[in-house]
Amino acid sequence: MKQLRRLYHQKLPSDRVTTPEFAQRLAAISTEIHQPISTYLNRRGQVIRVGVGSPRQTQIPPLELPRYGAERLSGIRCIATTLKAEEPRESALTAMALQRLDMLAVLTMTGGGFERRGGGATGYVQSTYLAHLVPDPAAPWTISSPLSLEQLVQQDLIDLVDTLETDFKRAVSAGTSGEFQGCDRVLIVGLLTQGMSEERFTHQLEEILALVDSAGGLVLETIQQKRSRPHPQTVVGHGKVQEIALGPKPLVLL
């Protein structure tokens, strides 16, 4: 617990994703407790949140996130460790998208390492991955190939974030200046429950599509799920809720 608390006293350069010292210290603690660790930093390089668990398990509650829009990222980045030598899982990438993080850096570990004189840790990071959002509805994020820690450290964070937010602004401008500017955009979610026939389900979806069309709306996408009964809190399942929260993918005009 003391080592985890000390992470809050670390301050990283504002123009770098991480430093070798911070990454190795994070991996050393993760190796010692044999648990993944996720740290969240603001653009000033201050650690604002430390959680034991994956990015999905430790994501910041929506009410605690700063305000952001489709043109901007949240101003927070996540540096996380993983116990398996693999690229970020889809659950971690989804958490990144839901929080609109500036980026997600994942550190894979060697399982060993040692402490230098003076308390510095080294040899704990095996490789890294850098993931971030992109303004492409069909593929909302991109993941780097495996990087060395040195390559990750050399990444210019300010340049990356500025480029991404410029791209998002262009995408938003393009999406609001076209043929369908001013019309309501609709995402239809259909739930097929036990006892409902496929024919009846399809017919109801067609009726809703017709109603949206007659009201002058634009259907961006239709999402379907099959469950024995509606979820008592969210109607559809948790995974489908995350899919909906990520927003429409390619335009589907029905």
pLDDT in tens, 224-246: 888 888 888 788 887 777 777 76
pLDDT at residue number 172: 74
Pairing of β 218-226 and β 185-192: parallel
In this structure, what DSSP letter does residue 88 have?
P
Is the pLDDT at 209 greater than 60? The verdict is: yes
pLDDT at residue number 254: 34
pLDDT at residue number 75: 94
Higher pLDDT, 96 or 172: 96
In the three-class reduction of DSSP (H, G, I as helix; E, B as strand; rest coil), residue 35 is classed as coil
Is the pLDDT at 219 greater than 50? The verdict is: yes
Class of the 185-245 domain? Answer: alpha beta
pLDDT at residue number 41: 97
Residue 106: pLDDT band (50, 70, 90) is: very high
Which own/partner contact pairs does 199-208 have at CB distance under 8 Å and 24+ positions apart? none
Q: What is the average pLDDT score of the chain? A: 87
Q: Would you mind telling me the total number of residues written for the chain in this entry?
A: 254
- Is-above-0.85 flag for pTM? no
User: Where are the chain's structural domains?
Assistant: 2-173, 185-245
pLDDT > 70: percent of the chain: 92
pLDDT single digits (tens) 142-152: 999 999 999 99
Most confident of 134-143, 145-154, 178-187, 231-240: 145-154
Which own/partner contact pairs does 147-152 have at CB distance under 8 Å and 24+ positions apart? 149/20, 149/23, 149/24, 149/107, 149/125, 150/20, 152/17, 152/18, 152/23, 152/105, 152/128
In this structure, what DSSP letter does residue 235 have?
B
Nearest by Cα to 141 from 159, 129, 155, 157: 129
Is the pLDDT at 70 greater than 90? The verdict is: no
